[in-house]
Amino acid sequence: MSIRSPERLLKPTGSPAAPEPREVVAIILECHGRIALLKRSQSVGYDRDRWHCVTGYLDPGTTPEQQARVELYEETGLGPDDISLLEKRDQLILRDATSNPWRVHTFKAVTSRRRLALNEEHVSYRWTHPAKVSRFSNRVDWLGHVLDTAL
């Protein structure tokens, strides 16, 4: 996926109606000034072996904040008592390789618990300073834009 300017991508251009964006949440998890990067497993359908943040599809009838809490618990084992802050940030519009739009609801979450309990979507995690994310050469392409928006 590549980042485009928010909202401008959805304006009509005189061509056939653009598809409605799929909606997802992306959560940047912070602990003592470092952020968690999670390495995707082979069991997922996309971004295998790439460094990622906590993400998930927005389920129908669920608010972005509710979905962010679900994804945090499912992917890291962090429950409500482990999260001291969950703050909604701006939305981004991303385009995938076939130019389909994705609306990304970004969040910043803060925990003091460094040990995470990963589910099958991830094989490992690292806590790193945000300025050092660029050293992870196999990160997802859009991660820097989500970091810029969520931090």
Assigned token pair, 28: 């940047």
The string of pLDDT tens digits covering residues 43-88 is 888 888 899 999 999 999 999 999 999 999 999 999 999 999 999 9
The string of pLDDT tens digits covering residues 140-150 is 988 988 999 89
For the cut 70, the answer to whether the pLDDT of residue 16 exceeds it is no
The string of pLDDT tens digits covering residues 90-110 is 999 988 778 888 899 999 999
As beta bridge partners, residue 124 has: 39
Q: What is the pTM of this model?
A: 0.84
Architecture of domain 2-7+19-150: Alpha-Beta Complex (3.90)
Mean pLDDT, to the nearest integer, of 28-52? 92
Q: Where are the domains of the chain?
A: 2-7+19-150
